[in-house]
Structure 1
Amino acid sequence: MGALVFVLLFLLDIFSAIGWWSLGFSSVLTAVSVLAWVLVAIKNLPLGVSLLLVELIVGSFGRLTEFTFGSTEISLRLGLFIAAFGLMLYQIASDRQHIIFRHSWRWWFAGALAVLVWAAAWSYYNWNSLNDLFLDANGYLYILLLPLFLQAFEQAGQEKILHYARVVFIPAIIWLSVRTIVLLYLFTHFSAEALVPVYQWYRDSGLGEITPAGGGFFRVFSQSHIYASLASVIGFAWLWRYLGQNSKIPLLHPMIFFTLTSLITLIASLSRSLWLGAAAAWFLIPLLALPGKKLISLTKYLLISIILIASAAGMVLAVARVNWPVKSLGSASAQVFANRFGTEPAGQARLALLKPLAEAIKHNFILGRGFG
C-alpha cells in the first residue's frame, strides 16, 4: 500500500500542475478526489482518516487543486474537510452509541469547541474583518474532526492504526523529499525564465516558495517541511531507542533511509526556524532518557547523528552542483548553509516585529483580540 500511496501522490502533483493550466480540469479533479475519499472513508474509516493526514503533510496550504464555480473557490483541503465533517455529523446523528457520547475526551472536545466559538465571537466584537477571521481560524478547524479520528482509532485498534500511519506517513515524507530535490535540481540547472510556469504552479497552489540563495543555490521552501522536521525527530528517537541494545536493531536500513530522507528535505528548505526546532528536539531526546542509557550510547548517538546530518547536507549540495545531464548554473557550496546562521535582512525584519507584537499583546493581555 505504501508504494500505491507514493504513486498517487506523484500523480496528484502532476494533475495539480495540469489543473493550474486548466481550471475546468482542476475542478473535476477536486470533485473526483473528494468523492473518492468519501467512498474510501465509508468502507474503511481508519484508511480515510489516514488519507486526510497525507493531504495535510504534502498539501501545504491545501490548494493542490481547487473547485471553481463562478467567484467561489473550494480548495481540495476544504472540500475534504466539508466531506469529513458531514460524514462525522451523520455518524453522530445515526448512532447514539457513537464514541463522542462515551469517550472521556468529549469534554476536551467541548472545551476546544467553546474556545473556537469564543475566539470567533470576540474577533467579531473587536471589528476584525470576516476575511481575516476565517484565514486565522481555519487552521484550527481540524480540531472539530476529533470525534472522527477517535472513531477511526476505536474501529481499527492501536496496531492497525500504527500500520496505516506507517504506510501513509512514510511515503508522504519520501514524496515531500523527492518533490523538494527535483525542484532544487531544476532551478540550479536550468534558467529561471524557462521555469516560470513551474515556479508559478508551486507558488499559486500554495505549496511554498522558491527563491535564490546565492552561489547558484535556490531555497525550496514549503510549509509542509515542518513534517520533515517531525519525521527527523521520530528517526532520531528510534535511533536512540535501540542504541546500546545487544539484540538486532529492527528495520535498520529502512529507518536510516527514512531519517536521511527527512534530513535532506529539512536541509534543502534552508529554514532556520525548522532547523532550530528540530535540533532542540534531537538534543532533548538523549537528555530526557539519559538515566536509562550508558555513556557509550550517547557517544554513538552523537556520532551517528553527525554522520547522518553531514551526509544529508552533502547530498543536497551534490544535487545542486552535479553536472549531469546538464551543467549546473552556479557553484553552490556549504557557505550557503553558513549564511543562514548570520544576520540578514529577513532575520532583521522578523526581529523588528517583536516590539510591535509585544505592544499589541500588552494592550490585550488577558482576552486578546480573537481570530484575525
Structure 2
Amino acid sequence: MNYLNMFSFFKQRPIFSLIFTLASVELFSFFGYLHPQAGVVLFWLIIAAVLVVSFWRLEYGLLIALIELFIGSKGYLFSFDINGTVVSVRIAIFLIVITVWLTKKIFSKKVQGSKFWISNLSIWYIFLFAALAVGLIQAIILRNNYGNIFFDFNAFLFFAYLFPLAEILREKINWERLGKAAIASVSWVAIKTFLIFYVFAHGMWPYTPMVYKWIRDTGVGEITKMDQAFYRIFFQGQIYELLALIIILGIIGHLINKGLGIRDKGLANKRYWLLGAGLTAVVILSFSRSFWVGGAAGIFALVFLLIFVLKAKWRAIGIFSLYSISIFAIGFILIFALMNIPPRKGKPASLSSLVSERATTQEAAGLSRMELLKPLWTGILKHPIIGSGFGASITYNSKDPRILQNNPSGEYTTFAFEWGYLDLWYKMGILGPLAYLGLIGSASFALWRVIKEKSEMVLAGINVQAMSLGVFAALIALAAVHFFTPYLNHPLGIGFVILSSIFAVFVKNREKQI
C-alpha cells in the first residue's frame, strides 16, 4: 500500500509556479521599497486583487492570507502610510477577507454548521477568548495607554480567521491546496534565506546596503554580522521553516517505521534529503537559540511517540536518527558551500565554533531578558488573577546595545516582553496561559489519538497518521519556542495554532466516518 505519496504531490507543477510567483512578489516588494510611489500602487493593486478573488472564491482569499503569513514575517512587505499611520498588507488582507466572509454569511440563505464547534477544542477557544476579553477590559479600567493597547492586542484579532478557516477546511480539496501553498512558501523562504546569506557573505556591493534596509524596514527580519564575514540571517517567519522541518521529520519517521524507507526506496528520493537539509540549514542560519530549543523539544517528542506510541523497533529508530544527523551535516555543508564558493579572501569562518559559541554564551540581549524577569514577576503579582491588561508596561534596566545607544542609563520601558508565557499571564491573568496551554494540549491529545490508531486516510498525498505525528511534535516545538520568544501572541504562532486545531478535529471526524 502507498502510505506516503508526498513527493509525487510535491512534483506537481502548481507548486513550482507558486514558488516563482512568490519570488516575483518579493522582487516587487523590493522595487516598491526603492520607489515608494510605485510601492503605493502595488499595495492597492494587491488589495484590489484580494478583494476580487475573495468575493469570487473565499477559500482563495484565505489561502492568500496564509501565504502572506508564511512568507511575510511582520506583514509589511507592502504598506500604505495614512497620515503617519502605516497600514501593512497583512492588516489590509485581514480586513478584506473577514469583511467578505461576514458579508457572505449575512446574505447567504444556507446555514452552515461545523463539527469543529462541538469538539473539545471549542471549549478551550471559549476560555481563551474570555481571557482576551478580560485583558482588554482590565486595560481600559486601569487606563493603559490606548496606543499600547491597540498594538498589543491587535495580533489576537488574527483569531478571527478561525471561523472562515473552520468552514473551508471541511473539504479535503482545500487541505490539498493549503499543502501546496505551505510547501511552496517554506521552499521560497529557504531560497530567499540562502540568496541573502550569499549576497552578504560575498560582499556584493552595492546590493548589501539596499537589501539590508529593505529587510529591516519591512520587518522581515534581521541581518547581523557574527564573525569573520559570517552573517546571521534571521526572519521571524522562519518559525515556519522550523515547524515544517519537524513535520517532515515526523513524516520520515512514520515512513521508516512502516518499513517503506528501505523497502520502497523512499529515503533514496533526493527530495527527502533536499528539503530536510535545506530547512535544517535555514534553522542554523537563523542563529536563534529559541528555534534550537524548540527544535530539540520537537525532535524529543517525535522520538518519544515513535518508541512509546508507535512501538518502533530500535532498527527503525537507528535509521531515523541516522537520517536526522545526516540532514544536519548536509545543512552545515550547504552553508559552508554558500560561504566559500567562490573562495573568499581572508581567514575562513568556523561555522561549528560560531554555533557552539551562540549556544553556550549569553550576549546582551540574553542578559536583558534576565534583567526583565524580576520586574515582570513583580508586575504579575500585582494582579495575578485578572492581569494588568493589554498595553501594560514594565520599566527595567537593559544592557542591550541598541537601548544603550539611545539611553546610556539603560532604563527601558516596554509592553512587549520576551518571556512569552509570563507576557500572557501579566496581561490576561492566569486564565490566559492556562487557556492557551489547554488549547494546545487538547489539540495534541486529539492528534495523539489519531497517531495511536492505524489509519488508511491520505490527505494532500500524506497518510494522516504520519501528518498527525509531525503536527503534534511541531506544536510541542512552538510551545517550547514561546518560552523565550513570544510567538503565541503573534499572527505567526496564532496561525499555526488555528490550522493545527482545525486539522486535529478534521482528521478525528474523518476517522470516525471511515
TM-score by length of 2: 0.67
Which among 243, 267, 277 is matched to residue 230 of structure 1? 243
**223-232 or 47-56, which deviates more:** 47-56
Which among 142, 147, 150 is matched to residue 158 of structure 2? 142
The 3 A distance-change label for structure 1 pair 70 and 264 is same
Deviation per residue, 1:174-206 (Å, 9 max, x gap): 111111111111111116776222111100001
Q: What residue is the counterpart of 1:293 in the other structure?
A: 312
Shift of 1:121: 2.1
Q: What residue is the counterpart of 1:16 in the other structure?
A: 29
Q: Is the 8 A contact 1:189 1:328 kept in 2?
A: no
The 3 A distance-change label for structure 1 pair 192 and 131 is farther
Unmatched 5+ stretches in structure 1 = none
C-alpha distance in structure 1 between counterparts of 2:77 and 2:248, whole Å? 28
1:280 aligns with 2:293: no
C-alpha distance in structure 1 between counterparts of 2:355 and 2:202, whole Å? 19
C-alpha distance in structure 2 between counterparts of 1:110 and 1:244, whole Å? 38
Shift of 1:250: 5.6
Tell me the SS of whatever aligns to 2:177: helix
Q: What residue is the counterpart of 1:335 in the other structure?
A: 353
1:353 aligns with 2:366: no
Deviation per residue, 1:298-349 (Å, 9 max, x gap): 111111101111110221122122226xx36662212111111122323222
Q: Give the letter for the 1:146 counterpart.
A: L
Q: Is the 8 A contact 1:244 1:294 kept in 2?
A: yes
Shift of 1:115: 3.6
Tell me the SS of whatever aligns to 2:359: coil
Tell me the SS of whatever aligns to 1:92: helix
Unmatched 5+ stretches in structure 2 = 1-13, 392-514
1:241 aligns with 2:254: yes
**245-254 or 113-122, which deviates more:** 245-254
Q: Give the letter for the 1:265 counterpart.
A: V
C-alpha distance in structure 2 between counterparts of 1:137 and 1:196, whole Å? 34
Q: Is the 8 A contact 2:114 2:166 kept in 1?
A: no
1:320 aligns with 2:333: no
C-alpha distance in structure 2 between counterparts of 1:353 and 1:49, whole Å? 38
1:371 aligns with 2:395: no
Deviation per residue, 1:262-291 (Å, 9 max, x gap): 111111101110011011101210212313
Equivalent residues in 2 for 1:1-372, closer than 5 Å:
1-95=14-108, 97-99=110-112, 104=117, 112-154=128-170, 157-158=171-172, 160-190=173-203, 195-247=208-260, 248=264, 252-291=269-308, 292-323=311-342, 327=344, 331-333=348-350, 334-345=352-363, 346-372=365-391
Q: Is the 8 A contact 1:217 1:330 kept in 2?
A: no
C-alpha distance in structure 2 between counterparts of 1:13 and 1:286, whole Å? 37
Q: Is the 8 A contact 1:109 1:146 kept in 2?
A: no
TM-score by length of 1: 0.91
C-alpha distance in structure 1 between counterparts of 2:326 and 2:54, whole Å? 42
The 3 A distance-change label for structure 1 pair 145 and 80 is same
The 3 A distance-change label for structure 1 pair 107 and 93 is farther
Tell me the SS of whatever aligns to 1:210: strand
Shift of 1:163: 1.3
The 3 A distance-change label for structure 1 pair 192 and 332 is farther
**133-142 or 241-250, which deviates more:** 241-250
Q: Is the 8 A contact 1:88 1:147 kept in 2?
A: no
Q: Give the letter for the 1:336 counterpart.
A: L
The 3 A distance-change label for structure 1 pair 118 and 98 is farther
**66-75 or 302-311, which deviates more:** 66-75
* Number of equivalenced pairs: 367
C-alpha distance in structure 2 between counterparts of 1:282 and 1:164, whole Å? 27
Q: Is the 8 A contact 2:61 2:97 kept in 1?
A: no
Q: Is the 8 A contact 2:135 2:386 kept in 1?
A: no
**31-40 or 192-201, which deviates more:** 192-201
Q: Is the 8 A contact 2:77 2:89 kept in 1?
A: yes
Q: Give the letter for the 1:282 counterpart.
A: I
Q: Is the 8 A contact 1:188 1:328 kept in 2?
A: no
The 3 A distance-change label for structure 1 pair 45 and 201 is same
Shift of 1:369: 1.4
C-alpha distance in structure 1 between counterparts of 2:89 and 2:111, whole Å? 28
C-alpha distance in structure 2 between counterparts of 1:142 and 1:26, whole Å? 25
Deviation per residue, 1:149-189 (Å, 9 max, x gap): 122113xx12x133112211111101111111111111111
C-alpha distance in structure 2 between counterparts of 1:370 and 1:329, whole Å? 53
Q: Is the 8 A contact 2:54 2:60 kept in 1?
A: yes
The 3 A distance-change label for structure 1 pair 90 and 119 is same
The 3 A distance-change label for structure 1 pair 297 and 102 is closer
C-alpha distance in structure 2 between counterparts of 1:330 and 1:77, whole Å? 43
Deviation per residue, 1:30-81 (Å, 9 max, x gap): 1111221232233333333222111101100000001234434221101100
Q: Give the letter for the 1:366 counterpart.
A: I
C-alpha distance in structure 1 between counterparts of 2:24 and 2:51, whole Å? 19
**108-117 or 187-196, which deviates more:** 108-117
